[in-house]
Amino acid sequence: MSEIERFSTLIGDIYDASLDPALWPGVCESTSAFVGASAAGLMWQDTLRKAAHVYFAWGIDPGYTQIYTEKYCRLNPAFPTMLFFDVEEVWSVVPDCISREEFCRSRFGKEWLFPQGLVDGLFSNVEKSSTSCDTFLAVRTMSEGFADDEMRRRFALVAPHVRRAVLIGQVIDRKTVEAAALADSFDTLTAGMFLVDAIGRIVHANASGHSMVTEAKVLRAAAGKLGATDPQADQALLDSFTAAASGDAALGRKGISIPLKARTGERFIAHVLPMTSGARRKAGVFYSAAATVFVHEAVLNLPSPPEAVAKEFRLTPAELRVLFAIIEVGRVPEVADVLGISEATVKTHLHHVFEKTGATRQADLVKLIAGYTNAPIS
């Protein structure tokens, strides 16, 4: 199979997984092979709740996955820095989040990463909230070497499609959808759903979709064609429909979170799922549709508390890591052990944190972070 065929097949599998979550481990395996990695996965982590969940993965021993969610997610020195990066951007944990030397000295590196032979990787945030992120990542072993430009280039090709598939999967509540019953399966969704052909002609719409075009605040259906009331968004939608007719890979970055603005000012998001590739082709032929369009109200994306704290008090990444480690672990010796740095270095960073924030006690730091979350920190 040629590289183009491999990539096209992978993209098709990604979008099929948006309708059938059981396909995600296979997608992770294929992604690893395409980008040159030993493992890949999709995970969620919340910095302030000190919790993590691995949605899907391939190449990681389930035992290591379990102890990551139970223990090592709280010791991962890449957090909270990973929260700062915008969605779809491609970054490496080392050195974009933490220096290689610090990472190697940390308990996380010594006790969780290196025993598996893992050494480096790339990640892209799929979605972010004020305290957490959904992250797609691919990691390499020592024998494969550190992430290079070619791995970054390939990962950047895949990441936008993963993001769109995950967002669509969230809209449809991760239901497994039989192709021939696609429209019926979507009719009960609260999000608006439309099956359209290559020129945007509506083949089918669910109840929410009918309501949207009837109200004509954000969407319209002039002459039976789906469009946006905002001219710029209208052209973006039309471009997506045209691209979708040529398959998954042709859609590229079009259709990923197309912003829509209602006449009354509300913000909405549209996602376009091609119906001309993969297992979805059967449904596309059945309904004579080129794409499925999901439209739902946008959620305000606020800066994360760690990001806001770092910006307001001009904390360096190292100072921020010490701040959150102090809150999580407590004492300087334990923080030094977790981060793999000397007690003197911890004390120096902590002194700077106190100086910059005006706090005088560790309890003050806990209250400071709690004030940015409007929630107690245990």
Lowest-confidence range among 46-50, 55-59, 82-86, 304-308?
304-308
Would you give the DSSP letter of residue 106?
S
DSSP E strands in 185-248: the ranges are 192-196, 202-205, 219-220, 227-228
Work out the percent of the chain whose per-residue pLDDT is above 90.
38
Number of helical (H) and strand (E) elements in the chain, helices listed first = 17, 12
Element (H, E) at 283: helix 281-287
Q: Which tokens belong to 97? A: 């989040």
The vertex-258 CA angle with 256 and 263, nearest 5°, equals 165
At 192-218, the pLDDT tens digits run 889 999 999 999 898 899 999 999 999
Would you give the DSSP letter of residue 246?
T
Report in angstroms the alpha-carbon separations of 133 from 64, 87, 126, 130, 165.
20, 9, 7, 8, 16
Q: Is the pLDDT of residue 70 over 70?
A: yes
Helix (H, G, I), strand (E, B) or coil at 83: helix
Q: What is the band of 188 on the pLDDT scale with cuts at 50, 70, 90?
A: low
Which residues 6+ apart lie within 8 Å of 324 measured at CB? Answer: 47, 79, 80, 306, 369
CB neighbours (10 Å) of residue 293? 27
Task: Taking residues 149-162, report their average pLDDT.
Answer: 92
At 219-278, the pLDDT tens digits run 999 999 999 999 989 999 998 888 888 877 666 655 566 889 999 888 898 888 888 777
Among 253, 255, 254, 262, smallest CA distance to 230 is for 262
Q: Which tokens belong to 45? A: 């982590």
Among 47, 86, 38, 73, smallest CA distance to 324 is for 47
Q: Which tokens belong to 333? A: 């010796």
β-pairing verdict for 291-297 and 192-196? antiparallel
pTM: 0.70
Sorted by where each starts, the structural domains of the chain and their CATH numbers stand as 3-171 (3.30.450.80), 179-297 (3.30.450), 305-373 (1.10.10.10)
Task: Taking residues 358-376, report their average pLDDT.
Answer: 75
pLDDT of residue 138: 97
Q: Hunting for tokens 């979550």 — which residue is that?
A: 21
Proportion of the chain in helix, strand, coil states, percent, rounded to 5: 50, 20, 30
Q: Hunting for tokens 């307001």 — which residue is that?
A: 312
What is the overall mean pLDDT for the chain? 85
